[in-house]
Structure formats: C-alpha cells, structure tokens
C-alpha cells in the first residue's frame, strides 16, 4: 500500500514538474517572441527615420490596413501631399515600399539612376505564388523564366535581347504595313457595327501581335483567343495592386505563402486561368513553329534561340505571352480611353478635323507618312497617354540593386520602388487642370505647355531598363488608329430615348493595374460621304492585303475544348 502511495506521489510530483517546465518554456517562448517583436520593431522605426517620409508603421503589419480597398494610387497621391514630399515610404507588413509621385523625382531616381533601379523586389503574389519565379541565376532550383518579374542579371539580359527581336524600336517599323491595314479595319468595322467598338479595338490589338508572333491574324471578334488574352492580362493586372485583403495580404505576411494551398482555395482556384495562360501561349508558339519553321515570326525566333540560350517551355511561354502583354490589352484599353475623351471633351475635336482635312483630305485616311505634318494629332495622342495612362502605377515595381540615397534619404537594396503614374500625370504644376483632356499641353509654344523631365512629355511606359518592351509598337499603332478614327468619325455621347445626350463618367474605371473605362455607349457619325467611300474602299483592300495571314488554329481549337 505504501509503495502505491509513493508511486502516486512521485507521479503527481512528475506531473507538477512537467507543468512547471511547460509553463517555464511558455514564458521563455513568450519572452523570446516579445524580444524579437521589440527588436524587429526597433529595426522598422530606425529604417523609417532614414527613408523618405510616410506614415509610422505598426509592428508586423506596417501600414497595410490603412490602404483603401480600391485604387490605392489616389491614396498615395494624397499621402504625398500630406507629407509634402514627392517621394514617400509606405510599409507593407515589415517591408518598406517607396512611392514616387512626381515626374522630376521619377526621372532622378528611375531614369538617371537606371543602372541602380534595374531589378525587381520580391513579389510573393505576382511572382512566387503564380510560379513566375524570380531568380536570375540559371543554376538556381527556381530559375527565372519571365522578363517581367525576373531579378536583374544575365538571364534577364537574355530575355530582354530576345524580346527586342520581336518588338524592339527598330523592329516595329517593319510592322507598319499590316498594322496600318488592321487599323483600317477598325474604322471599317465600326462604320458597320458601332455598338461593338470595344470588341473591334480588342480584335485589332490582338491581331497585330498575333501576326508578329505567329504569322496568323485574328479576323473575328468572336475568336476565343481575344477573350483568353484579355482575361489573362487582366488577371495579371489584379495581382500587383497593393491591398489589405487576400490575395495581397500574402505580401504583408509572406510566411502564409508556405502554408498548404488547400487553406486558400478561393485564391488558387482563381489562379487556374493564369497557369492556363502559360500553356496557352506555348501552344500558340509551338504550332506556328511546326507549321513553317522558315517563316519570319517571333515564335520561330524563340525556337531558333532555344538551344543557344537554354530556353525551356516556361521561357518560351512567358516570352510569347509578354508579346501579348506588350500590345493587346494595353493598346485596346488606350483606344477605349481615347473614345471616352472624345465623348467627354467634344471641344477638342474641331481642331483635329481642321488639321486632318488640310493635310489628308476626305478621299483617303491618314497614314504613318503623314505623321510629321500632323502636329495636333500627335499632341492629341500624347494627351491620351497622359490623361488616363493604362499602367496607372507604372507597371511592375523597380528595386535598387544596391543601397541608394535620394535627397538625403536612404532607399535600401531590394526596396519595392513604384512610380505612381496617376499622381505624376495629374500634378497641377506640370499639368494644370489635369482631369481636363487638353492636347494643347503638348503643342509647341502652347499656352498650357510646361517643361517636363523627358522629351516625350509623359511617363506612361515606365522608366530606365525596365521600360515597357512594347512601347514603340504601342505608340506607332495608337497614332495610326487615333488619327484614322478622328479623320473618319465625329465621336459623341450616345442619345437616350428622348434624344438627350447620356453623360459619361471620366472617373469610372476598372480597379486593376492596367485600367480601362467601364462600358459606356457612344455614337460614331461618319464625317462625310467621301470619307465613308474611303473607309469602305480601304477596308476591302486591307482584307485583301491581310489574307496572307488568314488561317485556323487546330491546336488552339483543341486547347479550348480541353479547357472548357
């Protein structure tokens, strides 16, 4: 009996000791956690004092939960004014991000120091969780395979070189012929079916890059390639806008990205289209190459360089996909914005018509050869790029490859550094009354013209070594199409059943990185019978010229059947 009681006492003592050990371990862990929290927050505050001004961050979460749900570029513009600094620091979790809100500072940091700000920061959502890995080291277990997200290095230079073979500034001049023909068809299609103007813009932009990439045009607005490309690009654009909700909370708490994906089914289910897009673009490139490897097109260039540069399937897919990213969704969105501007600001149209009538006349449409003489049309196009830039926060963020300094403030290596194009293009100093569409801003000796840090007068396509690869293609095609649409039509607000104009909202835009106006109705009225005849004649000729690029894609038909 005594033995049993002794065992019971020993057991109780052991349990008591275990509880004490657990309690002590819990206290130690809590103490270590608190110590880590204090040390880490001290690090944040110390760094905060050295960096450009901005809201004081909270421990761990930074200032993330101060973000608005939508369109944070307005918020960063307001913070810049609040702190009286064109460059501000905003903390996403435990990491600082730098936001540049005026043209002068963007030029000083991202253009004049292009060699420093040539890399990318870590992007958990846009790169890691979408399997667009960022390593520039070809020997890495996660080799970089996308120019857009890749850290700066030799592998990035390879991708950039290959991209220039497709859409470099010198190369795009060779595309003027079919780009002009596709532009003629925009006017032709809208003449016959004005209600579907957005679809015709999308078809035009997608078809141009499809010819460049795969020697096959997109002839119908019902082609599923259009909806797939636009959807993939819009999905990508949604994944890089700072936010306080999922999926962007992965940026605030990167450790969450290591948890089982089954815990976040709503996010990864939505990512299926992004991953499907990678297969889609490879399928397009592979089919074009197999059809005729001797043809001159971007897909054949990719496979030609495959062995030399060790291009795997992900590389070819991303390079082909970036071609669409450089010239489809962005170009069509710019044309929709142009149409909205015409409806909202009809007073700018008569001067455009006067110049076009004087230089071009009514018996043919304008072409690239007229560009040098069409000074007001060129200013009009620049104002479209400025007024509602598609890449509203300047595309993907930059990151310095080494510690840097601006105006006495520190910007550490790897810091997420973003140009807020909205704020840059709506700075009252550079662009008085910035929400008014006013091409006179870009006219030589114009009353509203102001000095600007670069020759173009806008920063729509980004900066430095990370400038948009498709800039030349977009500028060339946008000029052609806007000049032709202004020549062809009086673009006006739609009328209601009582014959009254339906107002348009110049602030009604989508929420993603590549924004475009929400749907709105409008009228396209041909400016003269002679112009109608010219549109018809040139449209028929364009169809004949482009017939060499016609053809069905069996691989793509099969792809969509598999992925219904």
| Other CB atoms within 10 Å distance of the CB of residue 339 | 23
Segment (H or E) for 324: helix 313-327
Residue among 285, 310, 304, 316 nearest 155 (CA): 310
* Longest CA pairwise span in the chain (Å): 118
> Residues 367, 359: contact at Cβ < 8 Å?
no
Radius of gyration of the chain (CA): 27
Spatial neighbors of 253 by CB under 8 A, at least 6 apart, are 93
Strand partners, 419: 100
Segment (H or E) for 38: helix 2-50
> What dihedral do alpha carbons 442, 523, 367, 341 form, nearest 10°?
20
Spatial distance between the Cα atoms of 97 and 73, rounded to a whole number of angstroms: 13
Spatial distance between the Cα atoms of 415 and 401, rounded to a whole number of angstroms: 9
Q: Annotation-wise, does 468 bind a ligand? A: yes
Strand partners, 406: 409
Spatial distance between the Cα atoms of 391 and 459, rounded to a whole number of angstroms: 10
Spatial neighbors of 547 by CB under 8 A, at least 6 apart, are none
Q: What is the DSSP letter of 229?
A: H
> Residues 164, 212: contact at Cβ < 8 Å?
no
β-strand pairing of 87-92 with 409-411: unpaired
> Residues 418, 466: contact at Cβ < 8 Å?
no
Burial class of residue 176, CB neighbours in 10 A (0-12, 13-18, 19+): middle
Q: What is the DSSP letter of 408?
A: T
> What dihedral do alpha carbons 427, 432, 436, 439 form, nearest 10°?
-100
Spatial distance between the Cα atoms of 361 and 359, rounded to a whole number of angstroms: 6
HEC secondary structure over 194-227: HHHHHHHHHHHHHHHHHHHHHCCCCCCCCCHHHH
Assign 3-state DSSP to the chain and report helix, strand, coil percentages, each to 5. 55, 10, 35
> Residues 282, 316: contact at Cβ < 8 Å?
yes
Q: What is the DSSP letter of 108?
A: I
| Omega before 375 within 30 of 0, i.e. cis | no
Residue ranges of the annotated binding site for heme are: 468
Binding residue ranges: 468
């Amino acid at each position: 009996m005594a033995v049993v009681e002794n065992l019971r006492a020993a057991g109780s003592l052991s349990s008591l000791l275990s509880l004490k050990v657990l309690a002590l371990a819990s206290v130690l862990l809590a103490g270590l956690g608190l110590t880590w929290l204090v040390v880490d927050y001290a690090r944040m505050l110390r760094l905060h004092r050295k960096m450009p001004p901005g809201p004081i961050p909270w421990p761990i979460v930074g200032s993330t939960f101060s973000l608005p749900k939508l369109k944070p570029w307005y918020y960063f513009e307001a913070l810049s004014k609040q702190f009286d600094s064109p460059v501000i620091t905003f903390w996403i979790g435990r990491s600082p991000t730098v936001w540049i809100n005026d043209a002068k500072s963007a030029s000083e940091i991202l253009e004049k120091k292009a060699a420093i700000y040539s890399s990318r920061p870590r992007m958990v959502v846009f790169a890691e969780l979408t399997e667009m890995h960022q390593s520039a080291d070809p020997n890495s277990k996660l080799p970089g395979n996308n120019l857009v997200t890749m850290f700066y290095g030799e592998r990035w230079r390879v991708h950039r070189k290959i991209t220039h073979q497709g859409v470099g500034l010198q190369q795009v001049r060779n595309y003027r012929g079919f780009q002009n023909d596709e532009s003629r068809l925009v006017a032709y299609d809208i003449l016959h079916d004005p209600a579907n103007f957005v679809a015709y813009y999308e078809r035009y932009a997608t078809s141009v890059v499809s010819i460049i990439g795969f020697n096959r045009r997109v002839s119908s607005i019902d082609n599923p390639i259009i909806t797939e490309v636009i959807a993939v690009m819009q999905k990508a654009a949604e994944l890089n806008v700072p936010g306080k909700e999922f999926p962007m909370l992965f940026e605030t708490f990167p450790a969450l990205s290591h948890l089982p994906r089954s815990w976040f089914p709503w996010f990864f289910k939505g990512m299926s289209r992004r991953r499907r897009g990678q297969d889609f673009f490879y399928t397009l490139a592979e089919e074009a190459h197999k059809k005729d490897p001797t043809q001159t097109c971007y897909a054949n260039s990719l496979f030609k360089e495959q062995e030399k540069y060790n291009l795997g399937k992900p590389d070819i897919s991303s390079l082909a996909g970036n071609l669409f990213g450089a010239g489809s969704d962005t170009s069509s969105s710019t044309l929709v914005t142009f149409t909205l501007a015409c409806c909202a600001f009809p007073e700018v149209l008569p001067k455009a018509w006067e110049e076009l009538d004087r230089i071009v006349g009514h018996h043919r449409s304008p072409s690239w050869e007229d560009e040098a003489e069409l000074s007001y049309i060129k200013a009009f196009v620049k104002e479209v790029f400025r007024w509602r830039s598609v890449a509203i926060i300047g595309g993907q963020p930059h990151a310095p490859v080494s510690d840097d300094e601006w105006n006495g403030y520190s910007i550490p290596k790897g810091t997420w550094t973003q140009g807020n194009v909205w704020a840059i293009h709506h700075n009252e100093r550079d662009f008085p009354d910035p929400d008014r569409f006013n091409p006179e801003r870009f006219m030589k000796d114009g009353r509203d013209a102001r000095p600007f840090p670069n020759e173009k007068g806008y920063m729509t396509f980004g900066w430095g070594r990370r400038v948009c690869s498709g800039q030349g293609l977009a500028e060339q095609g946008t000029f052609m199409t806007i000049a032709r649409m202004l020549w062809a039509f009086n673009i006006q607000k739609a009328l209601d059943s009582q014959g009254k104009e339906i107002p348009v909202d110049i602030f009604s835009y989508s929420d993603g990185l590549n924004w475009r106006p929400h749907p709105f109705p409008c009228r396209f009225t041909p400016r003269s019978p002679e112009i109608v005849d010219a549109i018809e004649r040139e449209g028929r000729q364009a169809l004949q010229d482009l017939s060499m690029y016609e053809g069905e894609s069996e691989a793509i038909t099969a792809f969509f059947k598999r992925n219904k």
